[in-house]
Amino acid sequence: MLLDDSIGFLISRTGRRVTQLLALHLASTGITTEQWSVLARLCEEDALSQKELASRVSKDQTNVTRILDQLERKGLIVRVVNPEDRRSHLPSVTAEGRAAYGEIAPLEENVISLVTEGLTPAQLSTLKELLNRIADAAGRHLNDNKPE
Partner DNA sequence: TAAAATTAATTGCTATGACAACTACTTTGG
Partner DNA sequence: CCAAAGTAGTTGTCATAGCAATTAATTTTA
Residues that bind DNA (CB under 7 A): 12, 16-17, 19-20, 23-24, 32, 34-35, 49-52, 59-63, 65-70, 79, 82, 85-90
Q: Name the segment binding its own copies (CB under 8 A); options: 70-78, 81-89, 93-101, 134-142.
A: 134-142
| Residues near 47 by beta carbon (within 8 Å), at least 6 away in sequence | 90
Amino acid (1-letter code) at residue 121? P
Of these partners, its own copies, DNA, none, which one is at the site of residue 109 (CB under 5 to 8 Å by kind)?
Answer: its own copies
Would you list the DSSP string of 59-108?
--HHHHHHHHHHHHHTTSEEEEE-TT-TT-EEEEE-HHHHHHHHHHHHHH
Report the half-sphere exposure of 106 (CA within 13 A, side-chain side): 3
- Our CB check for DNA shows the closer of 123 and 139 to be 139
Tell me: does residue 66 bind its own copies (CB under 8 A). Answer: no
- Our CB check for its own copies shows the closer of 6 and 61 to be 6
- Say if CB 93 and CB 76 are below 8 A apart: yes
Of these partners, DNA, its own copies, none, which one is at the site of residue 35 (CB under 5 to 8 Å by kind)?
Answer: DNA
Tell me: does residue 109 bind its own copies (CB under 8 A). Answer: yes
Would you list the DSSP string of 109-144?
HHHHHHHTTT--HHHHHHHHHHHHHHHHHHHHHHHH
> Which residues of this chain interact with its own copies, rule CB under 8 A?
1-3, 5-22, 24, 33, 37, 40-41, 44, 57-59, 105, 108-109, 111-112, 114-119, 123-124, 126-128, 130-135, 137-139, 141-142, 145
